[in-house]
Amino acid sequence: MSIKKLDFAKPFFEDVEFVENEAEYFVEPKSIVINLAHKTHGIIDAEGLPLEPLKAAVLQGVVLKGVERALVFRNYDRYDVTNPETAALVEKTWKSLYEWSGNERQKGIPYHKTEKIRLTEDTSVTVCYAAPMSPSGPHKEHAKDIDEVHVQLQGMGKVQLFRENDPAAFYREFILAPGNAHDRIYGENGEYPWHQYHSVTASVYVPVEIER
């Protein structure tokens, strides 16, 4: 049983908690709760409604029961990244993808992110910012063999699927608004179609990475 405060997404998300094995947990301020009990298929009870693993919800003043693993962004809307002044501050404060990776391919992509933190033996998260209407770049492979899900915190975005590495080969997208997590896009053996995140407005989301 534990509730751990996390400061990796400061200063824009300064009230983040990782909750493990709590029979009851009270979500007091308006929060986005991500159920990370994917290994055990543990469903959280939110006042009689289920919060499934790898799904999220916007909640306030709600008692959760049976929390095995959950990441909670309390007061997730204290700052508003769709406000251009806030967006400019995020861009100044969090390093760009290129600054993190040194990968030439990512130079000029208007994405910024926090450090990646490991929550459990197999699960890591970052918080990522994207400027409006910006594609992240289609890919099929990841640095590691991971199951990947994106959870929206602020603004609007989408995850798009392509039959091949070509924007014209688009065949499906998942629209993301705050509190949404898209359905799984990987197959049973961890294989992915070509896919990318694409912001609509200025956007902040959480890529959840689960090692296989």
Summarize as ranges the residues that interact with Fe ion (CB under 5 A): 148
Whole-number Å distance between alpha carbons of 183 and 39: 16
Identify which of residues 35 and 136 has a Cβ nearer to Fe ion in the complex: 136
Identify which of residues 43 and 161 has a Cβ nearer to Fe ion in the complex: 161
Nearest approach, Cβ of 149 to Fe ion (angstroms)? 10
In 3D, which of 205, 86, 201 has the Cα closest to residue 149? 205
Q: Is 104 helix (H, G, I), strand (E, B) or coil?
A: helix
Nearest approach, Cβ of 66 to Fe ion (angstroms)? 30
- Give the CA distances from residue 128 to residues 12, 42, 181, in Å, rounded to whole numbers and listed in that order: 11, 26, 14
Sequence-ordered list of residues with C-beta below 8 angstroms from that of 157, at least 6 positions apart, any chain:
130, 150, 176, 197, 198, 199, 200, 201, 203, 205
Nearest approach, Cβ of 175 to Fe ion (angstroms)? 17
Identify which of residues 67 and 181 has a Cβ nearer to Fe ion in the complex: 181
Identify which of residues 68 and 148 has a Cβ nearer to Fe ion in the complex: 148
Q: Is 87 helix (H, G, I), strand (E, B) or coil?
A: helix
Nearest approach, Cβ of 153 to Fe ion (angstroms)? 18
Give the type of residue at 167: P
Q: Which residue is nearest to Fe ion (CB)?
A: 148
Identify which of residues 17 and 148 has a Cβ nearer to Fe ion in the complex: 148
Strand partners, 57: 33
Nearest approach, Cβ of 70 to Fe ion (angstroms)? 23
Whole-number Å distance between alpha carbons of 177 and 189: 28
Identify which of residues 19 and 146 has a Cβ nearer to Fe ion in the complex: 146
Nearest approach, Cβ of 42 to Fe ion (angstroms)? 25
- Give the CA distances from residue 37 to residues 21, 200, 206, in Å, rounded to whole numbers and listed in that order: 10, 29, 16
